[in-house]
């Protein structure tokens, strides 16, 4: 065995097995490599099997029975993962916010690693690989849930589930949403780590085979079982003929916000061109992205005239992004990020306001402290306040003779489980994710977001349209497959006849119960580790 590894005999030695223990130096290398490898499982590369490899390297790196050491190892893994994964934050707001966000997210992972170190000491699963893997997967899911809600409303980017849009585990989203996919991914990574440890420690082929066979069988069953989960796509309440317009901007970056008139004109022009191409096609709804008209047509007559022209040309209402000013729930002056339904001859008939504004981007918490790290916080002069209504827009459809409920979560809201589930339970028959990716340039952010939209389509059994100012936009079937997509920084339009669906998935019916159950089980596992764990240090 190399100098980088040590082997010691267990309390009841077996002739065919030794304990595999990486040196501390190798442990750090494995952790950093694991984080970098895990990022490649996400878009733009989308090498989804490498999520298992990245997690496995972390598990191997956390062999020592020290909560503090394993927290440090997991923090290093997290930094190596989040720095490249969130590179788009550097492109949008600068190096200091990007570093701060990456370090903070890695810190939450470190807390989860400490919990895992204590929990795995429990005697009930100390030598039961599959049961230990279940505990590890549950802790991973709960750690992701913490990142989703805390601090400042949470930041769920980088959940393992979002790396599996092209993988066989995606259908599990229909059973218990992103937590189910993340759990299965983490479990497979844990079992892969076990195979590595067994291969390194076993001295005979027979011992290696005895340990590997059941674990390989479990991994195969998880993958095969996921593919058997039904993900129906057929229409249940008719269909909607939808068009989406990606107007584009003249240059990437925050400067796009200063060109509101140009952006509005681009989307009007795209709609007029679409109307010529789709003459007689009978559109039911035209979708524009977030910030497609930052000149609010409810307050600006020229902008209103352009919206009237576009709706008349398309022969259909337009759902578009703009903003508005008013008082928040505390009576303070605030701004709102809105999606507005504009109907020919009526103007604005409905408005949904974003419920979870992005911290340090759309509103600035602890502004005085944040200013010490980046003067860019003052670019946000008026904080965006959260809306109070669920993300459902009622769209009258004359052809169907009824109102169609369209779920409309804005931009980063697609990363939050509860908002989209509330919209589906509120009657949404179709999902729309309007977003503005102009600030992120040619980074992976927009494709990462498309992967999230694909998971949400499966989770809720709804056809989904992601429409961006600059791309990537896409039309997604209820099984997560991409029917049509656009490129970055190019004007484009998409049309589709999308099935309307009303049935609820198992994930919708279960709601928060899976994550609540996982949290309870993690608490019990942690308690069991504290109470029954051995006092002497032992590799698990």
First vs last C-alpha separation in the chain: 20
Alpha helices, DSSP H only, in 315-416? 367-373
Q: What is the pLDDT of residues 340-394, one digit of tens each?
A: 999 998 999 999 999 999 988 888 887 777 777 777 677 777 889 999 999 999 9
Interatomic CA distance for residues 287 and 289, integer angstroms = 7
Interatomic CA distance for residues 213 and 293, integer angstroms = 59
pLDDT of residue 11: 34
pLDDT of residue 411: 96
Tokens 């992004």, residue? Answer: 321
Tokens 């893994």, residue? Answer: 77
**E strand or H helix that includes residue 506:** helix 506-510
DSSP code of residue 131? H
Is the distance from CB of 160 to CB of 190 less than 8 angstroms? no
Helix (H, G, I), strand (E, B) or coil at 197: helix
**E strand or H helix that includes residue 354:** none
pLDDT of residue 378: 72
pLDDT of residue 181: 97
Pairing of strands 239-246, 492-499: antiparallel
DSSP-assigned beta bridge partners for residue 464: 431, 476
- Residue 386, CB half-sphere, CA atoms under 13 Å: how many? 14
DSSP-assigned beta bridge partners for residue 407: 392, 431
Helix (H, G, I), strand (E, B) or coil at 364: coil
Positions annotated as catalytic residues are: 290, 354, 411
- Domain residue ranges in the chain: 5-231+513-532, 239-502
Q: What is the pLDDT of residues 87-141, one digit of tens each?
A: 999 988 889 889 999 999 999 999 999 999 999 999 888 778 889 999 999 999 9
Tokens 């504009």, residue? Answer: 342
CATH number of the domain at 239-502, please?
Answer: 3.60.110.10
CA-wise closest residue to 103 among 115, 128, 85, 116: 85
Is the distance from CB of 184 to CB of 169 less than 8 angstroms? yes
Interatomic CA distance for residues 385 and 363, integer angstroms = 8
Alpha helices, DSSP H only, in 202-246? 205-227
CA of 297: how far to CAs of 140, 221, 248, 321, 459, in Å?
46, 55, 19, 11, 35
CA-wise closest residue to 29 among 99, 81, 76, 96: 76
**Phi-psi category of residue 149: left, alpha or beta, with phi > 0 → left and psi -120 to 50 → alpha:** alpha
CA-wise closest residue to 358 among 377, 331, 330: 377
pLDDT of residue 1: 37
E-only strand ranges, 305-457: 318-327, 333-343, 347-353, 392-397, 402-408, 430-435
Tokens 């909560």, residue? Answer: 67
pLDDT of residue 18: 55
**pTM score, two decimals?**
0.92
Total H helices, total E strands in the chain: 15, 14
Is the distance from CB of 247 to CB of 192 less than 8 angstroms? no
Cis before residue 151, ω within 30 degrees of 0? yes
CA-wise closest residue to 315 among 276, 283, 341, 267: 283
Interatomic CA distance for residues 499 and 508, integer angstroms = 19
Interatomic CA distance for residues 217 and 212, integer angstroms = 9
pLDDT of residue 534: 61
DSSP code of residue 199? H
pLDDT of residue 212: 73
**What are the structure tokens assigned to 350, written together?**
């409905």
**What are the structure tokens assigned to 75, written together?**
């923090």
CA of 363: how far to CAs of 157, 339, 340, 377, 381, in Å?
18, 18, 21, 9, 9
Each residue's pLDDT expressed in tens, for the chain with a length of 540 residues: 343 433 333 333 343 445 678 899 999 999 999 999 999 999 999 999 999 999 999 999 999 999 999 999 999 999 999 999 999 999 888 898 899 999 999 999 999 999 999 999 998 887 788 899 999 999 999 999 999 999 999 999 999 999 999 999 999 999 999 999 999 999 999 999 988 887 777 667 776 677 677 777 777 878 888 889 999 999 999 999 999 999 999 877 666 556 889 999 999 999 999 988 876 678 999 999 999 999 999 999 999 999 999 999 999 999 999 999 998 888 888 899 999 999 998 999 999 999 999 988 888 887 777 777 777 677 777 889 999 999 999 999 999 999 999 999 999 999 999 999 999 999 999 999 999 999 999 999 999 999 999 999 999 999 999 999 999 999 999 999 999 999 999 999 999 999 999 999 999 999 999 999 999 999 999 999 999 876 444 444
Interatomic CA distance for residues 412 and 420, integer angstroms = 12
């Amino acid at each position: 065995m190399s100098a980088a590894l040590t082997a010691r005999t267990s309390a009841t030695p077996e002739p065919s097995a030794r304990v595999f223990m990486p040196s501390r130096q190798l442990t750090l290398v494995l952790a950093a490599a694991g984080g970098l490898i895990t990022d490649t499982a996400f878009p733009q590369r989308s090498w989804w099997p490498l999520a298992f490899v990245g997690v496995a390297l972390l598990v191997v790196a956390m062999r020592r029975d020290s909560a503090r050491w394993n927290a440090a190892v997991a923090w290093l893994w997290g930094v190596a993962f989040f720095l490249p994964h969130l590179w788009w934050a550097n492109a949008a707001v600068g190096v200091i916010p990007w570093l701060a966000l990456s370090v903070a997210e890695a810190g939450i992972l470190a807390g989860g690693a400490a919990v895992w170190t204590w929990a795995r000491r429990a005697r009930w699963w100390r030598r039961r690989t599959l049961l230990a893997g279940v505990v590890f997967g549950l802790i991973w899911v709960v750690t992701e849930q913490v990142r989703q809600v805390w601090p400042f409303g949470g930041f769920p980017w980088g959940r393992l589930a979002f790396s599996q849009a092209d993988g066989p585990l995606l259908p599990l989203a229909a059973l218990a949403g992103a937590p189910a996919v993340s759990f299965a991914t983490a479990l497979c990574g844990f079992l892969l780590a076990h195979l590595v440890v067994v291969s390194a420690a076993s001295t005979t082929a027979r011992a290696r085979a005895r340990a590997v066979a059941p674990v390989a069988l479990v991994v195969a069953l998880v993958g095969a079982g996921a593919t058997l989960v039904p993900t129906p796509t057929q229409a249940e309440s008719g269909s909607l003929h939808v068009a989406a317009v990606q107007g584009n901007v003249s240059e990437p970056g925050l400067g796009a916000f200063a060109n509101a008139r140009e952006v509005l004109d681009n989307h009007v022009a795209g709609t007029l061109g679409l109307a010529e191409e789709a003459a007689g096609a009978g559109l039911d709804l035209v979708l524009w992205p977030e910030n497609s008209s930052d000149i609010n047509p409810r307050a600006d007559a020229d902008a209103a005239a352009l919206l009237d022209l576009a709706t008349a040309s398309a022969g259909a209402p337009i759902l578009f992004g703009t903003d508005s000013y008013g008082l928040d729930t505390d009576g303070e002056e605030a701004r709102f990020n809105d999606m507005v339904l504009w109907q020919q001859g009526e103007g604005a008939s409905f408005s949904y306001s974003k419920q979870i504004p992005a911290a340090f981007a759309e509103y600035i918490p602890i502004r005085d402290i944040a200013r010490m790290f980046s003067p860019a916080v003052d670019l946000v002069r008026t904080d965006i306040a959260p809306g109070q209504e669920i993300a459902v827009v009622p769209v009258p459809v004359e052809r169907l003779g009824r109102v169609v409920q369209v779920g409309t979560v804005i931009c980063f809201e697609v990363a939050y489980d509860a908002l989209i589930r509330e919209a589906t339970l509120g009657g949404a028959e179709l999902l729309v994710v309007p977003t503005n990716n102009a600030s992120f340039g040619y980074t992976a952010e927009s494709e990462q977001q498309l992967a999230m939209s694909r998971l949400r389509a499966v989770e809720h059994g709804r056809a989904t349209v992601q429409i961006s100012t600059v791309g990537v936009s896409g039309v997604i079937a209820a099984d997560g497959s991409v029917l049509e997509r656009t490129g970055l920084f190019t004007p484009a339009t998409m049309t589709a006849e999308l099935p309307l669906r009303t049935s609820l998935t198992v994930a919708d019916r279960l709601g928060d119960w899976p994550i609540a159950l996982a949290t309870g089980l993690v608490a019990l596992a942690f308690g069991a580790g504290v109470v029954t764990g051995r006092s002497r240090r032992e590799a698990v």
